[in-house]
Each structure stands twice: as structure tokens, then as C-alpha cells.
Amino acid sequence: MDLRPFITRKEQLRTGVKFIRDGHLFYQPFILADDVEVGEGQNLHDEYDKVTGISDFNVYAPQQDVGDRKQPTDLGHFRKCNQEYREIYDYIADQICMHAGGKLSDLTFAEIGCNTGLNLFNLALRGAKSCRGYDWNDLSNLFRWMNNLLGTDVRFTRGIYDNLYHRFKDEVQVPEVDIMINTVFTNHQCDPLQFLAFLCDRARKGVFLWALIHPGLSDPCVVYTAEMRGDILEKDKLFPLSFNNGVVISEKLLKISLQYLGFDEVTAIDKFVPSPSWDRFQEGFRMYYARRTRDVKSAYWTPSDQKHGNRRKTFDRLRRRLWK
């Protein structure tokens, strides 16, 4: 997202640079000024070539204090990759709007693992009724800054999804919404099926996924774990938490799982490749929209979840009465 039209004061830019320096703004592609840009586009494009740390080659800000990190040497290439990455995020928002059905202003959205909330802010700017993001980093100040810039009201809750117990830690509640979003996240779950159940249990109407699907595993129902790499993510956690990167599910297993969870209509969305160099990444990470056709819950849905969901429904009914 290009924030230059919205950043009109030096104080706003200084705050944005602080978010970069603190490690809260670097993955999703944003332009803050003519000489301040962040985004993981180059690394995804180049498959993390010559990267030794998670903060390498995702920030260009030569005149700013952004900490001890490698900045890109080829500015043209860096900007081209991030522009293409932004186009992918725009494509995601367009696809969600296309498949969601109904007016966007009537729909509520949430994203687990939202990072800096680019999907949610894109939907909010398109007129979504409400958007809420969850991430393990405390990004509440960043979301407040973005909302002030854009005139939006995207809510943020810090929540750490526990791979061991398949819940959010510290009793963080994730209420039901119309459409749940999850992008580039299942590949970091040691057992993605439990997380898929958590996600779908909270989606009243639909789920949008951008998930790592092995292109050679289209027939069998399997979960495939890639070789663990220690150069970017740690691999010294106790089993099974040590499997925290490169976890792949087959398309057949994904679709069958969604059917068990009440989503019989699953659409595989055409991959969007802004340039040939993205073909390999987009071949692995595939997009799907699943529409709920049956009201069922997984075995992980608990009485406390049901109670929280009923409270939310009661609140929504009262709010609608007050608005009339």
C-alpha cells in the first residue's frame, strides 16, 4: 500500500520509521516516503537468496535509522518486487470481494496471523462493515497509526495461537465473523488440520485461504513436512513444535477437511503471477475460497466457544435493534 498520500507530516513519518526499526513494519509491502519502503517482495521473489536473518532485504531507508539490517543494493529490483507483491495483495482483496457475496458493507472479517493488516485495511477501504486482526506481535499502536492515516477502524487483538493445544494462549477469544481470512500461515503450523478447524469454526459464511499446497500431492490425502531450516526460523523447539516451517497439505486433504467442516463449495482461485519470476512461489502458495453450506462445528469446538458465540449473537441483535 502506498501511504505517501496519507503521510503529510514529519511526525507521522517518524512514527512509521520507528515501527520499521522496532520490527513491526517490514513484511507486507508499504511505501512511506520516496526513500522509505518496506516489503518482503524481493525475498519471496529471490527465494531468500543470501538472507541470513529475517530482517534482511525487506527495508529500503538509507537516510533513516532502521537498525542493523541489510538493505537492498539494487533499488530498482527491490521496488519492482514489492510493487508486484502489492498487486498480489490487491488481487486477494478483489477475490474476497468477488466470492463473498452480498454487500461488503454487510460483512464482517477477521484474519489470524494478520501481520500489519494489509488485507484488512484493503477491505476496510473498500467498505467492509468491520475488520479485526490477530497476530502474535503487539501491533496495536501500528494499527492505531494506520487507522489515523487512512480514516479506518480496523481492530487488533494480540493473540498467540498455541500449536500444542490448538487454542489461543491467555484465554484470548476469537468470536465468529462472516468471513475468516488466513494467508501464508498454515505452513508454520506443525499440524495444520487443527488450525483449519479453529479457523472454520469461527466463519459463519466463508473462508479465504492462501496456503502452501504441494503441486505434486494433488491426489493423496497427506501432510508433508519439508526439511527443517535453521537459518531463518528456529528448529530447536521440542517435537512437534520443531516443525514450524514448510508444512504442506495436499489439495485433496484440504478440500475433504473443508467439507467435514461444513464448506462443500470450495473454489480454487486462479493464481495471479504479476511476472514470471513469481511463478514458483504462486505455484506453491495457492488461493481458495470456501463457502459455508452446512452449520457444523469441529471436535475442537467447546462449550465456552459456544457461550462466547451466543453472547456475540445477542449483542449483534441488540445493536441492530438500536440502529433501527
Whether 44 and 281 have beta carbons less than 8 Å apart is answered as: yes
> Which residue is listed with cell 514489492?
82
Domains in the chain and their CATH numbers? 10-82 (no CATH), 102-323 (3.40.50.150)
Top pLDDT among 297 and 279 is at 297
- Predicted confidence (pLDDT) at residue 307 exceeds the cutoff of 80: no
**Residue 86, C-alpha cell as written in the block:** 502489492
Q: How confident is the model at residue 214 (pLDDT cuts 50, 70, 90)?
A: confident
Indicate the average pLDDT of the chain: 90
- Predicted confidence (pLDDT) at residue 317 exceeds the cutoff of 60: no
Span 140-150, pLDDT tens digits: 999 999 999 99
- In this prediction, residue 145 carries a pLDDT of 98
The sheet with strand 36-38 has its strands ordered as 30-33, 36-38, 59-60
- Predicted confidence (pLDDT) at residue 43 exceeds the cutoff of 70: yes
- Predicted confidence (pLDDT) at residue 233 exceeds the cutoff of 70: no
Lowest mean pLDDT of 62-66, 114-118, 198-202, name the range: 62-66
Span 49-72, pLDDT tens digits: 888 888 899 999 999 998 888 899
Helix 75-100, helix 118-125: angle, nearest 10: 60
Top pLDDT among 171 and 229 is at 171
Q: Which residues of 38-60 are buried (b: 16+ CB within 10 A; e: fewer)?
A: bbbbbbbbeebeebeebbbbbbb
Lowest mean pLDDT of 25-29, 49-53, 234-238, name the range: 234-238
How much is the pTM? Answer: 0.91
- Predicted confidence (pLDDT) at residue 118 exceeds the cutoff of 90: yes
Top pLDDT among 101 and 315 is at 101
- Predicted confidence (pLDDT) at residue 247 exceeds the cutoff of 60: yes
Which amino acid is residue 122, in one-letter code? N
Contact partners, residue 258, CB within 8 Å, separation at least 6: 196, 200, 207, 266, 290
* Separation of alpha carbons 266 and 259, rounded Å: 8
Sign of CA dihedral 130, 289, 306, 188: negative
Sign of CA dihedral 31, 183, 268, 124: negative
Q: What is the DSSP letter of 72?
A: P
